Every structure is written in structure tokens, then in C-alpha cells.
Amino acid sequence: MVLKALLLDFNGIVLKDTGLKGQLIDEILISENLRPNPEEYFDMCAERSDRACLDRLLTRRGRITTPEFLNDLLTQLSTRYLQQLAEISRLPIYPGLEDLLYQAKVAALPVALVTAAAQQEVDWVLDKAQLVDRFAVKIMANDLAVTEEKPSPRGYEIAIARLNEQFPELTLTPKNCLAIEAWYPGITAAKQAGIPVVGVAHCHPYRMVQRRANWVVDYLNEIDFEWIGSAYKPPSAA
């Protein structure tokens, strides 16, 4: 086996926006006369689409949700989210990301983004950060049913299929890929898809990530493809 492709999460690996998104969802709950719980966002919304997050939070409080009602809340949330990001002088892109993507380019590894984030938000951020051309494939909320979001492996399976469509000469399998994740559901999704995982301790303690991922680092710039790539090579014959 040879390392042939890189698959990244968005929230937790590309953009450090957990505090902002959680704050805006709390504001929506308050506007609906509901009391936010500071720990709830991490428990119920990490690696989930905003639709799934709001549906879970509202249902937990006994509210009946409809597609129309959720669509209205999602429009409010996305508009406010992009407004807030636009007011930040420098986007909170995780340090080391550009170096990681440069390493992938030098190593001729196509990169896919696998996330439940909304397409308009992902596209806005990547355009603003001038990272659009760094991703060969993007799997986002519009590509997945709620039941297919992480910790389901479906997003990763779709990403590999689309990479194979673009780069048939690679004949990718999960074992040829490397996933980089920060949240537990994402690590679980990648491993269920059969993909080795580097866990980055951006969102959970290092030792807890270490128990779940194949490798663990504190920061993106600690990821060494030469070191990790050696695990993809068969042992030399004695």
C-alpha cells in the first residue's frame, strides 16, 4: 500500500469557528425562548450539520420542528455566521494548514474535504482564504442525508468514489488514504470507512485523541508525511 490521498475535516482542521457557531446557535435558542446549555453544543452538534444540530437541540426541549421552520432558522444562522466572519480582520484558519496543503501538493496527493458544514459557508471561507484550488473534492452537508453525517462513514466513502472519478489512475482504496480529524465522530467515521487517521488535539485532550486515532499530534505542522507514509509501505523482505 502507498499513501495516495489526503482527506480533511473542515471545522476543527481548516477553520477554528466552534466558539462562534456555538454562540450563534445559543442566540437562536434564546430567540425561541429556550435556555442554552454551554456543554450541549459539543455533545450534540460536533460534526453534525447545522440542520441536525438545531433539530436535536429543539427536539430535546420538546419543540416540534418542520422542514420550513428549520430552513428559516438555518437562513438566519448562516447569514449571521458569514456576517460575523466578514467582520474579522483575519479568518481563524488553523496554524499549519497551509504548510500541510503545500506538503500534499509537493507529494502529489489530491486533497478532499469531508464535512457536514453548509456549502455556502465552506465556499465563502475557502474563497476568502484563497484555498479553493487546494481541494480536488468537497463533500458537504448538501451531499449527505442527516443519517449519513459523521460518525457515519458515508461522507468518506463518497469522497473516495469522487476522487477515483477524477483520478482513476490512482485506484484509491481506503487504505491508500489518510484522514485528518479533530473531533471524535470524525475519527470514528474515518476508521469505520477503513481509513487510517491522524487525530489533531485541537478540540479534545491529546491523550483522549490518542486512544482513538492511529496517530496524534498537537498541531497540524507536526504532521510528517514521510514518517506517516512509512506505515503504508510493506516491510522489506529479510
- In whole angstroms, give the CA distance from residue 99 to residue 101: 5
* Nearest in space to 55 (alpha carbons), one of 73, 35, 77: 73
Per-residue pLDDT of the chain (238 residues; tens, 9 = 90+): 689 999 999 999 999 998 899 999 999 999 999 999 878 888 888 888 999 999 999 999 999 999 999 999 999 999 999 999 999 999 999 999 999 999 999 999 999 999 999 999 999 999 999 999 999 999 999 999 999 999 999 999 999 999 999 999 999 999 999 999 999 999 999 999 999 999 999 999 999 999 999 999 999 999 988 888 777 776 554 4
Burial status of residue 31 (CB atoms within 10 A of its CB: 0-12, 13-18, 19 or more)? exposed
CB contact at 8 A, 81 and 21: yes
Q: Note the pTM of the prediction, 2 decimals.
A: 0.91
